Amino acid sequence: MRLAFVTPRYGADLVGGAESQVREAALGLAARGHDVEVLTTVAVDAQTWAPALAPGNERDGAVTVRRFPIAPGADRAGRDALDHLVLSGRPVDLADELAWADARFRSPALVRHLTDHGGGYGAIVYSPYLFWTTLRCLPLTRARSVLVPCLHDEPPARLRIVRATLAAAAEVWFLSEPEHRLAHRLAPLGPHRVVGSAVHEPEGADPDGFRRRHGITRPFALYAGRREDGKGWPQALAGFATAVTRHHLDLDLVTVGAGHVRVDGPLRPRVHDLGFLDASEVSSAFAAASVFLQPSPNESFSRTVMEAWLAGVPVVATAAGEVVAWHCERSGGGLLYGDDLEMAQCIRALVEDPAAAAALGAAGRDYARANGAWPAVLDRMEAGLASLGVAGVGGVGAAGVPAATRLAAAVRDRAVRERRAEVPMTPGFPLAPWLPAPGAGVPGRGAGAAGVASSGSGREGGLPDGARRRLVRAAAGAARRWPTARRLLGAARAARAAWAAGRAVAPPRDVR
C-alpha cells in the first residue's frame, strides 16, 4: 500500500515520543514492503517553529521524506496569549480555538500537496493530535485518514476542533488502553483500535564508559526528555532535592534532552545537565542509572519508561499520569507517588534496597519485552490499514481484503453514521454538527478529572481525585501481583506518614 505519514517534525535526532513513534512506524512499514512517504515541515525546534531545513525531498532508509515550507503563525506574544487561554481550561470561543491551531505555523504547500495528490495514497496517517498538520489537514483526506493522536488528559484535548478531529478520522489508533478510554470520554469515535507502541531494545550499552565520559562518580537518578513544566521537570527536581537533603542520599541527578535547566544553591553540583545526546549514549545513560524518574502526567505510551525497563532500571513515576500508572500496575516495575515527599521516599526505598530495586527492574524488563515489540505493533497497524478497504491504490486495496473484513468495516461505518450526523469538514471550519454551537464553551471536566483536593499546606493532598483513585488502584494491583513493590511502597508510605505526623523539618544542609 502507498502510505503517507503527516507530522509537524521528522528526523532521527528529534526529541519526543510522538516523533520517534512516527519515524519507527514509517520505517517498520516500509521494511514490510509498503511504499511509505512522510509529509512534514522544515521546522526542527518545537518551541520556535522556525524554518531550519531546506524544503524538498530526501530519503530516510526506505522512506521518502517530503519537507514543505512553513508560513509563520502568530507572533510570540500572540501565541503565548493563546496558549495561556487554552491551557487555562476555561471555555474558549471557537474563533480562538481556530486561531490557536494556526498560531505556531501553517504550510499552504502541504495543503496543496494533499489536495492535489491525497487521493494517490491508500491511507494517510496523522500524528500527533495537537498540531496544525493534524487539525487542519486531516479533514482534507478524511475518507482515508488514520489518526494516531497520542492523547493526553489536558485542556487542549477538550477543544471542539480536537473532538471533531477524533470523530472524523476513518480509523483511530491508540498507543495504550488508558489513552483509548480517555478518547471515549472526549468524543464519539468511529473505527478504532489499540495498536500499541514499541521500543527497540538497545545493544552495546556502555554504563561504565558513560560515567567516565561525563565525570559522574556517584550513583544517579535519570530524567530523560523535554525539560519543561508540561513534562513534570520541576517536580522531578523538587523530588530529587527532597530525597538528597532530607534523607541524605548519596545520589546525583542526570538529565538529558531539550530545554533549559537552571539549578541554584547547594544542589547545583549534584545535577548534571548533559543536553541532547545521540541514541547510543542515551542507551548507556539508562544502563548506568540507579532509578528512572517519570514525573510527566502527559503520556500516551511513555517510551522512556520502556527504555528504562529494557535497561533493567526501576521507575519512580507520578500517579497523576494514567498511562504510566497503568504500566506500573501491570508490570510491577515501578513505584508511584503523589507529591515530592512521596517521590523522595520512593527514591530512598530503591536506593537503600538494591536487591529490591533489581527485582523491580527485572519485572519491568520482562514487561517491556512482552508488550513493546515492533512486529506485533506493525501487525496491528496493517490490520487497521486493511480495514480501510481503499481500492485501487498501491498494493492492498479492496480486492485484497477478505470479504468478511470489508463487510465488518461497512457495518461498523454505518453504525457510526447512525450515532452521529456527519457533514463535510473543511479546513476553514472543521466541525461536526453534534458539537456545541460557537461560543457555547467547552463542557466541564467530569468528576475526578478537575480540581485538586488538598489538605493543610497542599503538600499533603496535591492530586486530582481521579489521579488519587488511580494511585490507590495501582498500589493495590501492584500489591496483589508483586511482593517487592508492595513492601517498598508500604515502607515509603509509612516513612512519609511518620514525617508528616511529626513535621520534623531537617535543617538545610550542603549536599555537595
Query: Side-chain half-sphere of 296: how many Cα atoms within 13 Å?
Result: 24
- Structural domains of the chain, ranges and CATH numbers in brackets: 2-198+374-419 (3.40.50.2000), 207-372+455-502 (3.40.50.2000)
Predicted TM-score (pTM) above 0.85: no
Query: Is the model's pLDDT at 443 over the cut of 80?
Result: no
> What are the CA-CA distances from residue 214 to residues 285, 297, 423 (Å)?
10, 29, 58
Tens digits of residue pLDDT in 476-489: 555 555 666 666 66
Read off the C-alpha cell for 19. Answer: 516523533
**Average pLDDT estimate for 9-34:** 90
Q: Which of 55, 34, 43 is nearest to 7 (CA)?
A: 43
Q: Which residues contact 91 (CB under 8 A, 6 or more apart)?
A: 441, 442
- φ/ψ region of 165 (left if φ > 0, alpha if ψ in -120 to 50, else beta) reads alpha
d(CA 82, CA 421): 31
Q: How far is CA 403 from the centre of its chain?
A: 36
d(CA 508, CA 504): 12
Tens digits of residue pLDDT in 134-164: 999 999 999 999 999 999 899 999 999 999 9
**Average pLDDT estimate for 394-423:** 44
Give the full edge-to-edge strand order of the sheet including 315-318. 271-275, 252-256, 220-224, 291-294, 315-318, 334-337
Per-residue pLDDT at 432: 35
d(CA 411, CA 422): 16
d(CA 38, CA 318): 34
Query: Is the model's pLDDT at 308 over the cut of 70?
Result: yes
**Average pLDDT estimate for 45-60:** 92
The lowest-confidence range among 128-137, 399-408, 451-460, 500-509 is 451-460
Question: What rounded mean pLDDT belongs to the chain?
Answer: 81
Read off the C-alpha cell for 267. Answer: 544542589
Give the full edge-to-edge strand order of the sheet including 35-41. 56-60, 63-68, 35-41, 2-6, 123-126, 145-147, 171-174, 192-194
> What are the CA-CA distances from residue 307 to residues 301, 364, 465 (Å)?
12, 10, 30
More confident position, 447 or 87? 87
